[in-house]
Amino acid sequence: MLLLDNVHKVYGKNKEKKVEALKGINLSVNKGEIFGVVGFSGAGKSTLIRCVNLLERPTSGKVLINGVDLLSLSKKELRQQRKKIGMIFQQYNLLHSKTIFQNVAMPLILDGKPKQYIKEKVTELLSFVGLEDRMSHYPEQLSGGQKQRVGIARALATDPDILLCDEATSALDPSTTESVLDLLRKVRDEFEVTILMITHEMNVIRDICDKVAVIEGGVIVEQGSVIDVFTEPKTGITRSFVRTILNDDTPHSIKELIKANSGKTYRIIFKGNSTNIPLLSDTAKNFSVDLNVFHGMITELQGIPFGNLLVNMNGDSEEITRAIQFMKDREAIVKEVTHDAL
């Protein structure tokens, strides 16, 4: 559906002012997917999302939507394609001198749609976002969450296939964020719209995205399904993002306890089906090893149970090796942790 193929973006012309904001981005988003791109400030998120609808023109590479390379289109063809790409913004970008109805109607007026069609479509969309009773209000009379709902209604006016969300909830409080995310999920479910969102908030990724890519210095350093990336982050930056919501930092007193103990310490991660079996007690019953849980948590990610434990194992080294294999055979991830890495 949406494919970014080796996209580069360089700002500035002369050497001193050149900024290479994107360094060969490859991204593939399937139809109906909610795909999140997360990164710190300056990582290249805004540039990336703006390259999808060519608000920024990539310096090189391809942006393909349903197989059509946007960079190869004439101005007129691009205008047509852009109708299929809606966008919402952190600061909503509403016209303050226009009513809510007029704001949502704007893309349809610009597209030359008949009055009756516009009236019906805007009414339908405002009802969809729960603001039908606010049609004649002005943006300044609405809360942030309501303004973003107007932004979503406006973005849907031209029946887009893709919705781009640029830090859409970053200006909202947690409970408003939740309700806007629920609405975006409803947009995907009812209109089969593919959603690409950029954010610096990992809770947004956890709550709504199917897949996630982590961007740093204009490079995608890691991507995959949310459950895989959250449970097995491969890079330091991803780990630091995951830690913002799944805090697996080991408290100081527990670090000291582990250091004082003999035996080896392992991080045991299990998810989905492997949480249903009594993994530790089965291991203890089958092998001559002492298991001591020092620290950990069991939580849920996207409806899937997920556990992350720090366990000390004492016993004969061959027996420990067999015990670890036993756990791995039951889909657990078992990694030795050195004291320094705690």
Ligand X SMILES: Nc1ncnc2c1ncn2[C@@H]1O[C@H](COP(=O)(O)OP(=O)(O)OP(=O)(O)O)[C@@H](O)[C@H]1O
Give the shortest CB-24-to-ligand X separation in angstroms: 14
Q: How many of the other CB atoms lie within 10 Å of CB of 299?
A: 11
Please name the amino acid found at residue 308. Answer: N
Nearer residue to ligand X within complex by CB, 11 or 117: 11
CB 8 within 8 A of CB 61: yes
Nearer residue to ligand X within complex by CB, 51 or 310: 51
Residues within the interface to ligand X (CB under 6 A): 11-12, 19, 21, 39, 41-47, 200
Nearer residue to ligand X within complex by CB, 60 or 80: 60
* CA 290 distance to own-chain centroid: 40
Nearer residue to ligand X within complex by CB, 39 or 107: 39
> Nearest 5°: phi and psi at 74?
-75, 170
Nearer residue to ligand X within complex by CB, 12 or 251: 12
Give the shortest CB-236-to-ligand X separation in angstroms: 18
Nearer residue to ligand X within complex by CB, 41 or 317: 41
Give the shortest CB-9-to-ligand X separation in angstroms: 8
Give the shortest CB-218-to-ligand X separation in angstroms: 7
Give the shortest CB-12-to-ligand X separation in angstroms: 6
Tell me whether residue 3 is exposed, middle or buried, using C-beta atoms within 10 angstroms of its C-beta: 0 to 12, 13 to 18, 19 or more.
middle
Count CA within 13 A, CB hemisphere, residue 200: 11
Give the shortest CB-200-to-ligand X separation in angstroms: 6
d(CA 287, CA 315): 9
Give the shortest CB-46-to-ligand X separation in angstroms: 3
User: Which tokens hold the place of 196?
Assistant: 């690409």
For residue 28, give Cα distances in angstroms to 5, 21, 216, 311: 8, 19, 18, 38
d(CA 139, CA 270): 47
Nearer residue to ligand X within complex by CB, 47 or 194: 47
d(CA 109, CA 115): 8
For residue 284, give Cα distances in angstroms to 258, 273, 297: 19, 20, 20
